[in-house]
Amino acid sequence: GRLQDASLLQLGAYVGGAFVPAKSARTFEVLDPASGSVLGSAPDMGKEDVEAAVVAAEQAFRSWREQPAKERGAVLRRWYDLVMSNREDLATIMTSECGKPLPEARAEVAYAASFLEFFAEESRRVEGCVHTPPSSSKRVFTIKQAVGVSALVTPWNFPAAMITRKAAPAIAAGCSVVVKPAEATPFTAIALAELSRRAGVPAGVYNVVTCSRGNAAEVGGALCADERVKKLSFTGSTAVGKQLMAQCAGTVKRVSLELGGNAPFIVFDDADLDAAVEGLMASKFRNAGQTCVCANRILVQDGVYEKMTQLVVERVKRLKMGHGLEEGTTIGPLISDAGASKVEKQVEDAKAKGGKVIFGGNRKENNFFEPTVITEVDPSMMCAEQETFGPLVPLMRFKTEEEAVRIANDTKAGLAAYVYTRDLGRSWRVSEALEYGMVGVNEGIISSDIAPFGGVKESGLGREGSKFGIEEYLEMKYICLGLG
Ligand code: ADP
């Protein structure tokens, strides 16, 4: 009843330009994580539905890639306009299925839309080159061509942006896509499909295959095994990412992966502490701590440890936990029982190993977890070794710059890192030394359509957003012309 345009909901999956049920006619329930109540149901698709989607996508690819880039850009631009004009409804759907506070959902809709806008512009800037030939009888060129049908497997924590960050560059490049959204958040993906239809994205260019967690392996397996699918782009857990990468080996698919992080947030003695706390709150508590770039290990230099701790607690006290649609809520629930249990386990483990819970620490009804601050955390604790994906602030101490960098790099993850210092030389030295794909210096919010998002080490492969993001959906072809 809260939607201005109810036709954005309960449409089915989206294959070949039509909203459809699963061929098996099965459905699965989608829950509001804040209350546990059922929001609705979506088609529980299987490999026969993947087959239909791939056929539609391949068919559409043949004509879509022939469209002038300017036309592809114009379609994406109309999709951008429609996402922005339906922002409130999309945000409401998103908050209902993923739990994030409504203001955050509105911000995500704008962030998601920004990729449609950016790649609408970027479609015309795909450029090849003319090389200096090795002899006077040859001419040598490089051209860029769309990869082909791309499978996009996405998570629940950014139900819209993780789709558009992949789909926009793919579609701008001339590819068609089959999206497999997370089981927790299919409705946002489907609402985007309806808006794509209204924008004039041709049938088969954007497809959405929904399924339950139980069918995810079958659907994912079918997409990875299919020869007609030329590219997989995945955002999600490291474990599933590795599995899909292995499955793509069979057809030597191009693969882009955005996997888990374990972001260090380093605060040096010389930092502006108010700015550091501000940045920490923004980074740590976005989506209740459920983002892959959330600060995960807060490393604070000895000289400011007590002061920083005090400032953090003052700010954390002001967070308001509640349903994301309630006015004033700044922190929603965790997505699932498993998500809340993980945080609970990390808190117990930290306590057992000498950590001090100085604020919060308790699990609440449904999947809510109190914003929590723990001091005297050391690298052996679970909360330092693993990505928390929850509202826990573990404060660790360090003495020297060298020690901070060593602790920060002592992980298999390498997505985002944050550094707070007013020493220019140190900011550059530490940025270079950090084994991460992205570094925020005196800044806690780093994601943007214009910048390359991605990780090193086990955090992934490839980059999304920016002029580099479209390269993930382009093949390079070298043409050698003999003049005879
Ligand atoms: P999270 O722990 O955040 O749910 P996952 O990696 O489990 O992260 O999920 C990310 C996406 O991967 C979701 O769309 C999910 O349904 C999908 N997924 C999970 N398991 C598999 C699998 N075995 N094959 C393909 N996709 C999967």
Which of 240, 248, 294 gets mutated to test ligand 1 (max ligand atoms within 8 A of its CB)?
240
Instruction: Answer whether 292 contacts ligand 1 (Cβ < 6 A).
Output: no
Confidence at residue 290, expressed as pLDDT on a 0 to 100 scale: 98
Confidence at residue 1, expressed as pLDDT on a 0 to 100 scale: 59
pLDDT digits (tens, 9 = 90+) for 458-476: 999 999 999 999 999 999 9
pLDDT digits (tens, 9 = 90+) for 283-321: 999 999 999 999 999 999 999 999 999 999 999 999 999
Which residue's alpha carbon is nearest to atom 23 within ligand 1?
A: 217
Nearest partner of 86 among 159, 157, 192, 179, judged by Cα: 192
Has residue 74 got a pLDDT over 90? yes
Confidence at residue 2, expressed as pLDDT on a 0 to 100 scale: 85
Q: 335 alpha carbon to ligand 1 midpoint, in Å?
A: 14
Has residue 457 got a pLDDT over 90? yes
Which of 153, 232, 242, 244 gets mutated to test ligand 1 (max ligand atoms within 8 A of its CB)?
153
- Average pLDDT score, the chain: 98
Q: 182 alpha carbon to ligand 1 midpoint, in Å?
A: 7
Report the C-alpha gap between 289 and 281 in whole angstroms: 10
Instruction: Answer whether 258 contacts ligand 1 (Cβ < 6 A).
Output: no
Report the C-alpha gap between 210 and 454 in whole angstroms: 26
Instruction: Answer whether 342 contacts ligand 1 (Cβ < 6 A).
Output: no
Instruction: Answer whether 251 contacts ligand 1 (Cβ < 6 A).
Output: no
pLDDT band at 162 (very low <50, low <70, confident <90, very high): very high
Q: 213 alpha carbon to ligand 1 midpoint, in Å?
A: 8
Instruction: Answer whether 339 contacts ligand 1 (Cβ < 6 A).
Output: no
Instruction: Answer whether 275 contacts ligand 1 (Cβ < 6 A).
Output: no
Confidence at residue 468, expressed as pLDDT on a 0 to 100 scale: 98
Has residue 82 got a pLDDT over 80? yes
Instruction: Answer whether 236 contacts ligand 1 (Cβ < 6 A).
Output: yes
pLDDT digits (tens, 9 = 90+) for 165-217: 999 999 999 999 999 999 999 999 999 999 999 999 999 999 999 999 999 99
User: What are the b/e assignments for 127-142, b being 16+ CB within 10 Å?
Assistant: eeeeeeeeeeeeeeee
Instruction: Answer whether 240 contacts ligand 1 (Cβ < 6 A).
Output: yes
Percent of the chain whose predicted confidence (pLDDT) is above 90: 99
Closest approach atom of ligand 1 to CA 181: 14
Say what the ipTM of the complex is: 0.98
For 350-363, what is the mean pLDDT? 98
**258 is an active site residue:** yes
Has residue 11 got a pLDDT over 90? no
Report the C-alpha gap between 279 and 420 in whole angstroms: 9
Q: How many CA atoms lie within 13 A of 30 on its CB side?
A: 30
Which residue's alpha carbon is nearest to atom 25 within ligand 1?
A: 220
Q: Name the active-site residue from 117, 194, 258, 472.
A: 258
Instruction: Answer whether 182 contacts ligand 1 (Cβ < 6 A).
Output: yes
Residue type, 458: E
Q: How many CA atoms lie within 13 A of 51 on its CB side?
A: 5
Q: Whole-prediction pTM value?
A: 0.98
pLDDT digits (tens, 9 = 90+) for 381-434: 999 999 999 999 999 999 999 999 999 999 999 999 999 999 999 999 999 999
Nearest partner of 147 among 168, 127, 176, judged by Cα: 176
Query: Sheet of 129-131: strands edge to edge?
Result: 129-131, 138-146, 474-482
pLDDT digits (tens, 9 = 90+) for 426-446: 999 999 999 999 999 999 999
Which residue's alpha carbon is nearest to atom 19 within ligand 1?
A: 216
Which residue's alpha carbon is nearest to atom 16 within ligand 1?
A: 182
Q: From the CB of residue 182, how many other CB atoms can be counted at a distance below 10 Å? A: 24
Q: 30 alpha carbon to ligand 1 midpoint, in Å?
A: 16
Which residue's alpha carbon is nearest to atom 7 within ligand 1?
A: 237
